[in-house]
Amino acid sequence: MIREALEVSTRAEPVPVEVLTERARAAMERRLAWILGPNDRVLAPIRAEVVQQDGGYVGILVTVETLEEVSAPLEGPMLTMGR
């Protein structure tokens, strides 16, 4: 499971919280495309929720559940030196 808290601050021109939440979700989708391998899977939809909102500050918690393949390292000179 990957959990990430994103901090987003608004400027003089307010941005609706819904837009900020969607931006945080889209940022996680881009990050997952880079992080996950070809055999990894997203198990549940990405969730983004506002956890703090004060003045011009919005805290958004983005959560996604993934299943990632973990494999043993390949044999090589660095791994066999201690034998």
Q: 2: pLDDT confidence band, cut at 50, 70 and 90?
A: low
Per residue in 36-70, pLDDT (tens digit) is 888 889 999 999 999 999 888 899 999 999 988 87
What percent of the chain clears pLDDT 90, i.e. is strictly above it? Answer: 37
What's the CA gap between 77 and 55, in Å, rounded?
57
pLDDT of 27 strictly over 90: yes
* Phi, psi of 42, rounded to the nearest 5 degrees: -90, 120
- Note the pLDDT of residue 23: 94
Give the span between the Cα atoms of 43 and 58, in whole angstroms.
27
77: confidence class by pLDDT, cuts 50, 70, 90: low
